[in-house]
Amino acid sequence: MKKKAIIFLFFLLTLSMSRLRAQQKAAAVNWITFEQLSDSLAIHPKKVLLFFHTDWCAYCRKMQREVFTDPKIVTQLNTHYYAVRFDAESTDTVSFDGALYTNSAPQKKTGSYHKLAELLAARQGTFSFPTTIILNAHFQVQTRSFEYLDRKKLARVIEF
């Protein structure tokens, strides 16, 4: 009888742990591309969060790992914002607000920034990553942050 009870409790524990993992995996920001952004805004206008990062930026990775996985942040972003994550050194051609933007470097390399990053994520011609920008539904800048934003700071920025 005790063995059956232990097996049953083990089964319940395993089931609840798998549900918890599924919920944690579900708590992810719905990142979209710049191309998807125009279409999405046409259908359902919302504010936009732009997150510019690079591969070598430790604070960018920390923000993606610790801040953009916080359930409260994820819920707020997914409910009230379109979120676009963009590698500032990308060599992809991007269509944004009716124009095409490229990186003049033929291949990705450190310090060679995409024209879209130069347009939106530079401060007086210099870069500081991570850069987080909030736009309204008409692509007008509301907030620009050229620093690591912890959970509390980002929560204040995206407060709705």
DSSP 38-102: HHHHHHS--EEEEEEE-TT-HHHHHIIIIITT-HHHHHHHHHHEEEEEEETT----EEETTEEE-
For range 107-127, the mean pLDDT: 88
Burial class (CB in 10 A: 0-12, 13-18, 19+), 8: exposed
SS3 of residue 29 by DSSP: coil
pLDDT band, very low/low/confident/very high, at 109 (cuts 50, 70, 90): confident
Mean pLDDT score of the chain: 87
What pLDDT does 126 receive? Answer: 87
How many C-beta neighbours within 10 Å does residue 34 have? 17
Here the tokens at position 151 are 């959970």
pLDDT band, very low/low/confident/very high, at 124 (cuts 50, 70, 90): confident
pLDDT band, very low/low/confident/very high, at 130 (cuts 50, 70, 90): very high
Residue 15 has pLDDT above 70, yes or no: no
Here the tokens at position 99 are 């124009």
Q: How far apart are CA 69 and CA 29, in angstroms?
A: 7
For range 95-110, the mean pLDDT: 87
What pLDDT does 40 receive? Answer: 93
Q: What is the CATH number of domain 28-157?
A: 3.40.30.10
What pLDDT does 10 receive? Answer: 54
DSSP β-bridge partners for residue 48 = 82, 135
For range 37-57, the mean pLDDT: 95
